[in-house]
A and B are shown apart, each in its own frame.
Chain A
Amino acid sequence: MILNYIGNFALFFCLILSSIIFFTSILVLNNKNSFFKRNLNELLFFKFFFTLLSFFSLVILFINSEFSNETVLNNSHISKPLFYKISGTWGNHEGSLLLWLLILTFCAFFYFLKSKNRPSDERLLTIIFQELIIMGFLFFLLKASNPFNIIFPVPDEGMGLNPILQDPLLAIHPPILYLGYVSTSIVFSSSLAALMKGNINNLWAKDIKSWVYISWTFLTLGILLGSIWAYYELGWGGFWFWDPVENISLMPWLSLTALVHCILVLEKRSILHSWTVILSIITFTLGICGTFLVRSGILNSIHTFANDPERGLYILFFLFFLIFLSILIFFIYEDKFETNNKNLNFYSKDFSIILNNWFVMYFLSVILIGTIYPIFLEVLSNEKISVGPPFFNKLIIPFLIPFLIFMSIGPNLKWIKNNKLSNKLNLIFLFILSIVIAIFVFKFYSNVTLNITILLAVSFYLFFITIKDFAKRNYKNYSQMISHFGFSLLVLSILLNSIFSNEVTSNMRVGDEIKFFDKSIKLQRLENTKEANFLKLIAHFKIEDKDKIELLLKPEIRIYDKPETITSEAAIKTDIFRDRFLVVNLVKENDYLNVRYQEKPFMIWIWISAILISLGGIINILKKNEK
């Protein structure tokens, strides 16, 4: 009970501290030696501490199942395992916002601690922008989604957490994703501050780079976790559906990826100043825009949350306030950019990075259009539509081809200017090799289109070239090589996976048998068991080869009582070549089971390659710290 008050007051205190920091910072902006500036660090720490206090109050409320708290009441119940009681803290709207705020205040504190080599007025300005964002979220939290609403008299039992969210991966997915999203706010604030002070240059790029890497790495990992979860929990055996909510997480990732490369060009060559700032703004606003679209329920997607138009309205105003603020600052201080008359050479690393940047922006716009076009159309003409995967596939796949080619050649070029390509012979040989492999696949599998064949060839090309780079033992660029290698592996495994996947769907009764190529799938028996908070129906399947190699798969159906929900747990047998995926579902009270069996080759490599991509980022962060 007391924790409700502690949590609530900590938040209020946080708001007071935040406004003190905000207004005093503005006042002392031009005062070189104020007492306040020297002690800002402590203030920022206190603010972080109070948010932490508030967050832990909520965690303990969840652990103790204190249903005097409305958030706990709505999202927890006594018989839930401890782990999910804790993760339930951020498994709901209010708690996840509190987590978001916690990371936000931590970032502000950490930035100030680590940016001592920046000019002090720029640091202060960054903190001002950061406080603006923090205050926006604090208002939102206290006004429209307070996690500490008290209920009296205290009910005995809570409503429970949606069972589909009771999953270890989904417990760590939001914190990691938020770390990625929120740390882009530092990049955003810092770029606006540096812009106002005319400090956008190669030194700034060097200092802000680690924040870009941190957010990029966490965002990559966050998306990966969400994707793995969707793969086994939603029971469809797909990992990416071009669903609006998935697109929304991909968009900031794309612009951040562009930023990761662009900031390198700024650091090394002192060009692309304004473009870097634009990308920083885009990345953060896309993150907030994502929050708006998901939380307001304006989109319709398979991953929806409880909708509340009032909340949506608030985030909408906040989002457009940030957009107009940054546009305004950009236009006013535009002439502070260093003008550059440096030439760009076609055969240079800079040029290939710029080109790839444009491709990434193209992918981003396609996804953005595909995601929000239905909203625009519905408002303007009242027609309800959805934009499906074919749209994205058609517009993205062909452009991946030149993208991958530039990605293979680019890192082998030098900065500024290359007169001729080094070891041209090698590159050409590898190119021919990849084309031969692709043609080989094309010949033997009739369902491969020409488009896919070319894409296959270029992704093999990137694959070989990155392997060749490893052989050169150039330790300087290890992180880049690992990430690029991971990306080529990702494209390759996605392609091979989509070409060679096979599936069969059927409705079966106990004893039924279906054929899948030369295999037979038999439903042997059903078994009922009772677990702590759900009933379990296990279906025993036997899969037999013609060589009589047997495989037993046991997919489950779980029937939870709080809240009453049915979920399917797929049975997945993973090895390095393929995943065998079997999922069943109940239809009414019927003796038929709805069964889907899939063989998906190279599934594990999709996850491994995404881990490799983020590993590159992690190495980069560590390398930076060692220096």
Chain B
Amino acid sequence: MKNKYLKIFIIIFFVFSFFIFYYGLKQKHLYTTENSGIQKFPNLILHDFFTNKKTSFEDILIDSNYYLVNIWSSWCLPCRDEHIYLKEIKKSSSVKIIGINYKDKKNNAVKFLDEFGNPYAYILNDKDGTASIEIGAYGVPESFILNKQKEIVKKIIGPIDQKKFKKVLKIIKNEN
């Protein structure tokens, strides 16, 4: 009899610890880097992808309610899946998409755009990856949604998929 209670107790204890760990993992703030410190988007000066002219973010980030800054590269496989959604997002009038081409060869990147289309209003070059680090990016692809005041509203680590795409639309349409 005594033994039975002990068994039940042990099982309950482990079930309890399982749920603690489970919710510990689920606690979002532990992992996402949303609002990760830099709130205002840094004003960097980079070279334009096509013309190679020096371009500052201040000059590009105008005339729109929202901006989506997308870090991409031709060698990055998930970027291709993401591209479809970027083209969808482009259809909305309230957002301007700006690409940062990360550690890439120009030939490859141009081929990539020819093949999959170009949703970007501007593309800036980040050959050595330093600008992306400065922005606070973790890898490719990564996207930042900025509002009119150039503040980071949302940071998306990894490719934009169906789920994240809906979230992006929600942000753009809601506050419009």
The count of residues in chain B whose C-beta lies closer than 8 Å to any C-beta of chain A is: 25
In contact, B77 and A313 (Cβ under 8 angstroms): no
- Which residues on the A side are within 8 Å of B108 (C-beta)? 153
- Could you tell me the dominant secondary structure of chain A's interface residues? helix
| Contact segment of A23-31, A40-48, A373-381, A567-575 | A373-381
B22: interface (CB < 8 Å): yes
| Contact segment of A240-248, A323-331, A397-405 | A323-331
Minimum Cβ distance to chain B for residue A518 (Å): 47
State which residues 1-55 of B face A: CB under 8 Å.
7, 10-11, 14, 18, 20-27, 30-31
B105: interface (CB < 8 Å): yes
- Which residues on the B side are within 8 Å of A309 (C-beta)? 25-26, 30-31
In contact, A376 and B20 (Cβ under 8 angstroms): yes
- Which residues on the B side are within 8 Å of A153 (C-beta)? 74-75, 105, 108
Partner of B20, one of A150, A157, A297, A375: A375
- Which residues on the B side are within 8 Å of A298 (C-beta)? 21, 24-25, 30
- Which residues on the B side are within 8 Å of A149 (C-beta)? 77
Given contacts A154-B75, A323-B14, A331-B7, contact A379 B105 (CB under 8 A): no
Partner of A316, one of B14, B25, B75: B25
A331 CA to B11 CA in the complex, in Å?
11
In contact, B25 and A312 (Cβ under 8 angstroms): yes
In contact, A379 and B77 (Cβ under 8 angstroms): no
A151: interface (CB < 8 Å): yes
Partner of A327, one of B10, B26, B77, B133: B10
B171: interface (CB < 8 Å): no
B90: interface (CB < 8 Å): no
The count of residues in chain A whose C-beta lies closer than 8 Å to any C-beta of chain B is: 29
In contact, B21 and A316 (Cβ under 8 angstroms): yes
In contact, A324 and B75 (Cβ under 8 angstroms): no
A440: interface (CB < 8 Å): no
State which residues 64-78 of B face A: CB under 8 Å.
73-77
A255 CA to B31 CA in the complex, in Å?
32
Minimum Cβ distance to chain B for residue A356 (Å): 24
- Which residues on the A side are within 8 Å of B24 (C-beta)? 298, 375, 378-379
A312 CA to B105 CA in the complex, in Å?
35
13 contacts between A and B (CB under 8 A): A151-B76, A154-B75, A155-B103, A307-B31, A309-B26, A309-B31, A312-B25, A316-B18, A316-B21, A320-B14, A323-B14, A327-B10, A327-B11
Q: A residues touching B (Cβ–Cβ < 8 Å)?
A: 149-157, 292, 296-298, 307, 309, 312-313, 316, 320, 323-324, 327, 331, 375-376, 378-380, 564
Q: B residues touching A (Cβ–Cβ < 8 Å)?
A: 7, 10-11, 14, 18, 20-27, 30-31, 73-77, 103-105, 108, 133
Known pairs A309-B31, A379-B24. 4 more at Cβ < 8 A?
A: A292-B21, A313-B22, A327-B10, A375-B24
